[in-house]
Structure formats: C-alpha cells, structure tokens
Amino acid sequence: MKKLSMILAFVLAASMFTACGDSSSSSSSADSTSAESAADASSSQSADSSGAEQATYKSIKLMTFGDSITDGFWLPGGYRTFLCNKLEENSLSQYVDFVGRNKGGECYDNEHEGYTGYSIDRIMQSITGTRMGLMNIAEKRLEADKPDVVTLMVGTNDLLSYYELDKAGERLEALVDVVLSYLPEDGMLFLATIPDMDADAKIPDADGDNDTYIDQETYTAEKMDQCVADYNEQVKAVVEKKKGEGKNIELADAHSAITKADLYDGVHPSEEGYKKLADFWYDIIADYIKE
C-alpha cells in the first residue's frame, strides 16, 4: 500500500512538471514572436526613414518667359514671389536659380523674363495698335540666360489685339522652336495654356471710357470665352506635335489653375489668383527637379 502511494505521488509530480514545462515553452514562444514582430516593425520604420532621407534633387536654371502675368502686372513679382516663397519654405530654393534680365518682387531670386504688353510675335497693326513680341527678343535672351528649364505662357495680348487668332498656333510654334533650339539636351520647356479673361470686368478705380482692357466692340463675354478656348487648343496641339517629334516639351495647363473669380481686372490675376498660379507652378517645378 505504501508502495502504491509512492508511485501515485511520483506520477502526479511528473504530470505537474510537464504542464509547467508546456506553459513555459508557450510563453517563451510568444515572447519570441513578439520580439520578432517588434524587430520587423523597427526594420520597416528604419527603411521608410532611410527612403525619405535618400530623396535627391537636381539644380536648374529656370527662365520664366511670358507677358504681364509673368512680369507681375499690378502686383510686383506676381506669382513668382509666392513661388519663390514656397520653394524656400520647402527647402528647395537652393536648387532653383531664376534667370532673366528683369527683376521684380521681394523674394530670394526675382530675376525673370516677363514683358508687359508683349504678344507672341510683333504685331504691326491691330485694334490695340502695335505690340512687341517675345519672338523679337527670344534668341538674345536665351543666349544670355542659358536656362535648363523654360516656362512659357503667352498669347493673352494676341487675343486682346484680336490679331489673326486663327494663325496664333503657327506663331506660337515658331517661338517654341526657337526656345527648344537653345535648351540643353536634358532641358525642358513647359508650355502653358492661358487663363480665362472676363470681358464684363472693369479696371478697379478706372475713370472715363478706358475702364477695361478688353475691347467692348470686339468681345462679348461669350466670344472671349470661345477665343480663349480656341487658342488653348492650339497650345495643346503645338505640345502634342513637338512631343511627337521627340522634343523635350510638356503641357502646363495654367487655364485649369484659376477662374474668372481669381482675376483682378478681367485680364490679370488677383493676389489670390497669383497665389494659385504659384501653387500650380510649384507642383510642376518641384516634381521636375526631384531625381
């Protein structure tokens, strides 16, 4: 009987030891799995952090080429001031060197090639008289500035002059060809559509009959809308043609960036409109310089 009791005690002790061993093994396994998960998470976070640190950018010489909207009519610097500020805020200003003989706006680099009143090419006679054209100065300015990237937005004054609008695309293509011929092999031309114009808008604080930049005998609001739309189609056609020829050119649809509500005087952007254009160009430039 005593022997039987000793055997039963031994079996019971062995059973308890095995149970404890399983529990310890399970706990050890769980601890191991938890540690592995933490290590994986740490490794993932480290990879993400490493990836962010590896983002690199290339430096460019940027020529902003255009008419009064590029110049910054009524608001010194126009969109360029806000563009420069945004590049600085995002630590990208060191990569973008604005070039040009003109200066305007309070920002880290206010050089530009914006010319108020200029059309695509010289206009000798129109409802607004004569105009100088960007074509007349393009070669000289491109040779002097030697840009890597050009943003070109022009055509507003061709519409205001109501000058041979059916041939505006041909004039624009000729100007584009000149710009492309001066760009380096890895350069880029961003050709922009133009914003809408409001034929019903008045110039703020204007007196007398000259209270609008848009000829009221030539344009109704509807006709101006159609002329802007037709011209922008010609812009898009030029881009597609040149891309088909293997040229370094991209469409910049500035028309989509602002509306008539963002205009100051029916033609030029308001301060808010210039800010929206700055955001538009910032996205394009920041994406382009990212390697």
| DSSP letters spanning 140-171 | HHHHHH--SEEEEE--HHHHHTT--GGGHHHH
**pLDDT higher for 5 or 98?**
98
Q: What pLDDT was estimated at residue 53?
A: 62
> To which H or E segment does residue 252 belong?
strand 249-252
Mean pLDDT lowest for which of 78-87, 202-211, 282-291? 202-211
> 60-289 belongs to which homologous superfamily?
SGNH hydrolase (3.40.50.1110)
pLDDT higher than 60, residue 47: no
Q: What pLDDT was estimated at residue 117?
A: 98
With cut-offs at 50, 70 and 90, classify the pLDDT of residue 220. Answer: very high
Token couple for 2: 């005593």
> To which H or E segment does residue 96 belong?
strand 96-99
Rounded percentage of the chain residues whose pLDDT exceeds 90: 78
Q: What is the pLDDT of residues 88-126, one digit of tens each?
A: 999 999 999 999 999 999 999 999 999 999 999 999 999
Q: What is the pLDDT of residues 8-41, one digit of tens each?
A: 344 334 444 344 344 444 444 444 444 444 444 4
Each domain of the chain, given as residue ranges in start order, spans 60-289
What is the reported pTM? 0.82
Q: What pLDDT was estimated at residue 209?
A: 64
**pLDDT higher for 14 or 140?**
140
Contact call for residues 198 and 258 (beta carbons, < 8 A): no
Q: What pLDDT was estimated at residue 41?
A: 43
Rounded percentage of the chain residues whose pLDDT exceeds 70: 80
Q: What pLDDT was estimated at residue 52?
A: 47
Q: What pLDDT was estimated at residue 211?
A: 87
- Chain centre to alpha carbon of residue 26: 57
Q: What pLDDT was estimated at residue 141?
A: 98
